[in-house]
């Protein structure tokens, strides 16, 4: 599905639309909306910094595993600007978590679960995995001291080192709880995101 808004072309994958239909059928649409809104907050952080630095995207693709903002100006920006653009995704989720949590402490709110969803998304994206913001941030830092190829190889190695303890911990939680697949699901999601994002770097 394709449409245009504010001179930006949007495309939404049919796989995502099918997932929405399944969530409605299984009556878990509320949780899906909560997670989706946290993702929108995350990507808005990236987009805000891009606009501040004068880099308006021409296309935004929304699929099952990512929201890809077409950024044709990243090679023309400084490393600091690219770092801030990447960093402000998880930072936006963290700010949202802090605001909702403070409101909860002051007056109470039913949105505490949404606050934790934002915190989880923030921490997940800061993992040093090459398809996540943490991997992108690490690549930007390493490429200042090494060649792009060396920095890419280093992030690849760190990615698989990071995945191993996550997978082990996931199995430990699975066997010591009532079949809690949450961490294994995260691990599977990371692996699938690596495959579908095709290891893109700045």
pLDDT of residue 196: 61
Tell whether the model's pLDDT for residue 14 goes beyond 80: no
Confidence at residue 193, expressed as pLDDT on a 0 to 100 scale = 66
When the pLDDT of each residue in the chain is averaged and rounded to a whole number, the result is: 79
Three-state DSSP class for residue 77: coil
Check pLDDT > 50 for residue 99: yes
Asked if residue 67 lies in contact with residue 53, where contact means CB atoms within 8 angstroms, the answer is no
* Residue closest to 126 by CA, chosen among 52, 17, 118, 34: 118
Question: Pick from 53, 43, 48, 44: which is nearest to 74 by CA?
Answer: 53
Number of Cβ within a 10 Å radius of residue 30: 10
Q: Any idea which residue has 């997932």 for tokens?
A: 19
CB 14 within 8 A of CB 64: no
d(CA 137, CA 196): 19
- Give the DSSP H or E segment for 105: helix 79-107
Q: Which residue has the higher pLDDT, 59 or 94?
A: 94
| Residue ranges covered by each domain of the chain | 1-126, 127-202
The H or E element that residue 18 is part of is helix 14-25
Length of the chain in terms of residues written: 202
What does the pLDDT read at residue 49? 92
Strands (E) located in 19-158: 59-62, 67-69
- Please report the pLDDT score of residue 70 as a whole number: 72
And the tokens for 174?
Answer: 């699975």
Confidence at 122, pLDDT banded by 50, 70, 90: very high
Q: In the prediction, which pLDDT does 89 show? A: 92
DSSP element (H, E) containing 113: helix 112-125
Provide the whole-model pTM: 0.79
């Amino acid at each position: 599905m394709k449409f245009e808004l504010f001179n930006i072309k949007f495309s939404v994958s049919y796989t995502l639309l099918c997932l929405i239909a399944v969530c409605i059928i299984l009556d878990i649409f509320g949780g899906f909306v909560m997670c989706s809104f946290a993702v929108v907050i995350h990507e808005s952080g990236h987009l805000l910094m891009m606009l501040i630095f004068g880099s308006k995207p021409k296309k935004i693709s929304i699929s099952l595993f990512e929201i890809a903002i077409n950024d044709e100006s990243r090679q023309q920006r400084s490393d600091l600007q690219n770092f801030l653009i990447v960093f402000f995704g998880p930072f936006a989720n963290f700010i949202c978590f802090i605001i909702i949590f403070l409101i909860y402490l002051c007056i109470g709110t039913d949105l505490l679960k949404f606050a934790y969803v934002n915190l989880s998304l923030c921490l997940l994206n800061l993992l040093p995995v090459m398809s996540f913001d943490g991997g992108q941030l690490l690549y930007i830092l390493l490429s200042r001291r090494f060649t792009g190829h060396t920095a890419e190889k280093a992030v690849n190695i760190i990615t698989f080192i990071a995945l191993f303890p996550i997978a082990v911990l996931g199995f430990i939680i699975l066997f010591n709880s009532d079949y809690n697949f949450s961490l294994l699901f995260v691990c599977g999601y990371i692996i699938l995101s690596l495959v579908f994002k095709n290891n893109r770097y700045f």
